[in-house]
Amino acid sequence: MFLQQVIGGLATGSIYALVALGFVLIFKATDVVNFAQGEVMMVSAFFTRTVMGWVHPHGFLTWTVVALLTILFAALFGALLERIIVRPLMNAPVFSVVMATIGLSTLLIGLSGGVIWDWDTYVIESPFSKKPVHIGGIIVTPLDAGIVAVTLGFILVLTLYFKFTKVGIAMRATQQNKQTAMLMGINVKAIFAGTWALSAVVSGIAGFLAAPILLIDTNMGSITIKGFAGAVLGGWGSIPGAIIGGMSFGVLENLATVYLPSWIKHVAAFLVLLGVLMIKPDGLLGFTVKKV
């Protein structure tokens, strides 16, 4: 049972990890915490569902097309949000931008439920099958495995991206000191837009992978707080940390529902977070970035 819960927790944890990753990406480049992260995922998921409604039949080819369209949509959506909400506040205190993102999350919920789509709950089936596979007494579905695999792969790509590519390094430089980055010739505005686009793509992928589990409706964004907790647990500002934190959070939750009494099980993961922060305030893999 223990191992089964751990494996199951990895899949839910991957979704938290992707949300956490979305947070960290924006934070790394712009110092902003985007509390509308979950709602960005929701909008992408609704978009996926709408497109799925137009294309038939639902074979692997259509799925790939829908996935690519969702990624494109997410990138544009993220860039749009940055342009409308964040860019005007570029020189305001960071806290103001954070407040704006909190408002944005409510706005997105209202627009999605009341104007563009509706308040119903929907489900879309993923290309990964949900038929369980028994491996040595543990039950895994290709869906779970797929979620974990895509998440890990994505993380690897992004870590390399931030370490070795020009744009990635430029993003890190922009986070450390906007003014100096500009003086060094980095197009800070483009970096901002690009970061938000990238973060939205991450959320879009999360929504799309997770839709069969999460169910698509305007409440999807409630996952934000768990992604946030995962990011903090793993070390705020660290990409591998976001992943480890998110996945640990998922596993902890799953283990708690089985092994802990009901009065504590639903908050156990948060209690662990508190405990870790008391011992290591930077989180598991975190490090305090020295502002230059």
Partner 1 sequence: MQRMGLGMMVLVACMVVLLGLAQAYAAEPGVTDVEVKVGTSAGLTGPIAVWGNRMARLGPQGYFKYINEHGGVHGRKLEQVLLDDAYEPPRSVANHKRLIESEKVFAILLSMGTPTVSASLSTILDAKIPLIFPATGAHKWGYEYKPLVFQVGADYWHMSAVMVDYILKEKGLKKWGIFYQDDDYGKDVLNGTITQLKKHGLEAVATETYKRGSIDVSGQVAKLKNAGVEVVMLGTVYREGAPFMREKEKIGWDVQTVGIAPTATQTFVDLCGSSGIGHLNTFSNPQVDDVDRPGVVEFRTIMQKYFPDEKISEEALYGYIAAKTFVAGLQAAGKDLTRASLIKGLESLQDYDNGVTDKITFSAERHQGVTASYISKIEEDTPDPKTNEKRYKYTKVTDWIKPAGY
Report which of 288, 237, 285, 290 is spatially closest to residue 29, judged by C-alpha positions: 237
- Binding status of residue 230 toward partner 1 by CB under 8 A: no
**CA pair distance 216, 14, nearest whole angstrom:** 17
Q: What Cα–Cα distance (Å) separates residue 210 from each residue in 16, 50, 97, 103, 196?
A: 10, 16, 28, 25, 21
Instruction: Give the residue, chosen from 44, 151, 195, 218, that forms a contact with partner 1 under the rule CB under 8 A.
Output: 218
**CA pair distance 79, 128, nearest whole angstrom:** 29
- Binding status of residue 223 toward partner 1 by CB under 8 A: yes
Report which of 277, 263, 288, 7 is spatially closest to residue 134, judged by C-alpha positions: 7
- Binding status of residue 37 toward partner 1 by CB under 8 A: no
- Binding status of residue 141 toward partner 1 by CB under 8 A: yes
Instruction: Give the residue, chosen from 3, 84, 123, 160, that forms a contact with partner 1 under the rule CB under 8 A.
Output: 123
- Binding status of residue 214 toward partner 1 by CB under 8 A: yes
Tokens of 104: 């944005």
Whichever of 21 and 188 has its CB closer to partner 1, that residue is 21
Q: CB-based burial of residue 282 (10 Å sphere; 0-12 exposed, 13-18 middle, 19+ buried)?
A: middle
Candidate ranges 20-28, 158-166, 188-196, 211-219; the one touching partner 1 (CB under 8 A): 211-219
Whichever of 132 and 275 has its CB closer to partner 1, that residue is 132
Q: List all residues 6 or more positions away from 185 whose beta carbon is below 8 Å from its beta carbon.
A: none
- Binding status of residue 244 toward partner 1 by CB under 8 A: no
Footprint on this chain of partner 1 (rule: CB under 8 A): 1, 4-5, 8-9, 12, 15, 56-58, 109-110, 113-114, 119-123, 125, 130, 132, 139, 141, 213-215, 217-219, 222-223, 250, 253-258, 262, 265-266
